[in-house]
Amino acid sequence: MPRDPVCGMIVDSDSAIKRRIGDRTYYFCSEACARVYEQPELELKAMKRRVALALTGVISVAVLRVLAMFGLMAAMMAFRIASLSVWDLALFIISTPIVWVAGWSILYGAYRAIRDRCINMDVLIASSVLAGWGYGAISTFLPWLGSEGFGYMETAIGILAFILLGKFIEENVRRKSAASVRRLLELQPTFARVLRDGQEVEVPVNEVQVSDVIVVKPGERIPVDGVVIVGSSLVDEKIITGESIPVEKGVGSEVIGGTINKIGLLKIRATRVGDETALAQIIRLVEEAQASNAPIQRFADKVVGYFVPIVFTVAAIAFSYWLFTADFTHAFLVLLAVLLIACPCALGIATPTAILAGVGKGAEYGIFLRGGEYVEKARNLTTVIFDKTGTLTRGEPKVTDIMPIGDYSKEEVLRLAAIAEKGSEHPLAEAVIKAADSMGLEIPNAESFEAILGEGIKVLYKGHKIILGNLRLMENNGIGTISIEDKLVELEEQGKTVMILAVDEKIVGLIAVMDTPKEEAAEVVKQLKDIGLEVIMLTGDNERAAKAVARQLGIDSVIANVLPWEKVNIIKKLQSEGKVVAMVGDGVNDAPALAQADIGIAIGSGADIAKEAGGIILVKDDLRDVVKAIKLSKITMRKIKQNLFWAFIYNALSIPVAAAGLLTPLIAAGAMALSSLFVTINSATIKLQKL
């Protein structure tokens, strides 16, 4: 069943209030929640007006009471119109608009709940307020049926003032926690400057088509996802990735809609528009996560469902007891106090407010939690599995060692290897060329080029025969390798791929290439082990290369030579052993494994964020965010448990006190409002945590 994106309440899709916003349908439990979502600032102003009206009424009554205490209202209190007390009439006139105008949202919420046969917190509050105001009104107009009415009406408006003020403060805190979505929404440009027939035309951003060429000037937001086709600049991607340093962009670079072009004019070709843009997907992801709850919330929802009828029963028993042992007035006040103090508002918002704050905090770092389910699973996490290539390592080979033999220098060995590789498209060739470029070496063209599949390359340069490849290539060309065998073994044991360079059938150097670990990988592995998690490397690479990387990173457990579909079975085996597993991968190649894991963490997901299989999405290609995501999940779950604990304790201790007649309705209302506010503020402290 759908969940109200504002209050987190589960709603019946048939009876819920539906709103079509963009291309999606949202379901709300009330018109008030729908207005909050559609026009949050207008609804907040309306709440402020309702609070002001209620407080004005309370102050007015307090002033009348003070004047009466000093005898300044004696004439008014004694004066009667057609046997009706003018004093009681004044209180009725003050309290009625407060109950029916300021308290309308609560009364309407109670009506809808009763109509849908779903008793909720609004029913308890409305029962208390209407009972107090109703009995006061009856005793005002039919004084022979009861005592003076002003005390009950005063109680009713006091209750409303407390509750409305608490809700207003609570909503302010909630909005600060939900600010991540609103900030993202504000990032969406409304217009784009598109080239049409050679002219710049400003069009609404929803009219931009894939392949349109868009002009973005310095200081402007990029309207849609695209690829730079003209120009270069620095682009501020902080709001999407959390990265504080602007990123260099040039021809061929991908750009994300909503980010800011800092210095240069760019022309980009649109690749994703509308709901396909990274920003739109992120907004949808955050909205869905903030409207979701952890499975523990189902327990709280079930408790509330049984709790409310029990409260009515306890209230009725307490009323009956005090009616026979004291008087009606005392019994009635006890009834109101029990109904108010037992209102499980804090219990209902314990999980949604924490999830809201946790998702908002993660969004600041480019960490997107898909929902409460993954937050709860993080509490019992035991094992973190990393894919190797592209996750722990950079995903591209890099020259790590250049070992000259004889009279050649490192630069000469690298230059000759680059000349040989210049015509090749092999990844190892790309690594050699990049290394030569970084050293500023000139790489002329060879006179002839021959690639031998699975072995290497043979070229002719200035009359010299250059051979670059593996041992088999050397042996097939009659080149002895005994002198370099020890060095070969040493490098290969480190997990490196070694290329042998020979000139005119004489070995002159070795070049070792390796897919190197990311700079932060070892630190991340250590941090995970420090918090008691088992770390495993799972890779399709050969065991020697995998173990070499694992040694560098401090990983003790390696599972190598694993095909993509076999990773799922390995995760299932670990889960059958009682382990709670998180899988960290690239989100595309590792999709089955990410889906099978208890928590799939897709790293460096870029523009396809919402299409990934991960339960946690990390926009930046930064392994440190894995630790931050796990910490954030644990912090959020800790807050949920704290909230539920205090909400249960509050109700368990307060109901007997109220039933014993030791609390007035006003104190009960204040205590109930404070308990909800405590839970909300406790959740909001997540925003202050350092990850």
Greatest pairwise CA separation for the chain in angstroms: 125
Residue 196 exposed, middle or buried by CB count within 10 Å (0-12, 13-18, 19+): exposed
3-state DSSP assignment of residue 8: coil
530 labelled catalytic = no
Q: Within the chain, how many helices (H) and strands (E) appear?
A: 24, 26
Strands (E), 304-421: 367-369, 383-387, 393-404
Strands (E), 388-504: 393-404, 448-452, 456-461, 464-469, 497-503
Contacts of 593 (CB under 8 A, 6+ apart): 385, 387, 538, 564, 567, 568, 571, 583, 585, 600
Show the DSSP H helices in 178-295 as ranges. Answer: 179-187, 238-241, 278-290
The pair of three-digit structure tokens given for residue 673, joined into one six-digit string: 């409002």
Contacts of 608 (CB under 8 A, 6+ apart): 281, 587, 588
What are the Cα distances from residue 12, in Å, to 113, 352, 358?
11, 18, 26
Q: Scan for tokens 């190797």, then name that residue.
A: 388
Task: Tell me the chain's radius of gyration from C-alpha atoms.
Answer: 35
Whether residue 687 contacts residue 639, with contact meaning beta carbons closer than 8 Å, is answered with no
Whether residue 336 contacts residue 668, with contact meaning beta carbons closer than 8 Å, is answered with yes
CA distance 19 to 1: 16
Residue 561 exposed, middle or buried by CB count within 10 Å (0-12, 13-18, 19+): exposed
**Active-site residue (options: 4, 122, 225, 387):** 387
| 516-521-523-528 Cα dihedral, nearest 10 degrees | -150
Please list the residues that pair with 535 across neighbouring strands: 384
Phi, psi dihedrals of residue 659, rounded to the nearest 5°? -65, -30
Which residue in 180, 188, 179 sits closest to 41, CA to CA?
Answer: 179
CA dihedral over 529, 531, 532, 535, signed as positive or negative: negative
CA distance 448 to 423: 10
Whether residue 604 contacts residue 278, with contact meaning beta carbons closer than 8 Å, is answered with no
Whether residue 535 contacts residue 516, with contact meaning beta carbons closer than 8 Å, is answered with no
Active site residues: 387
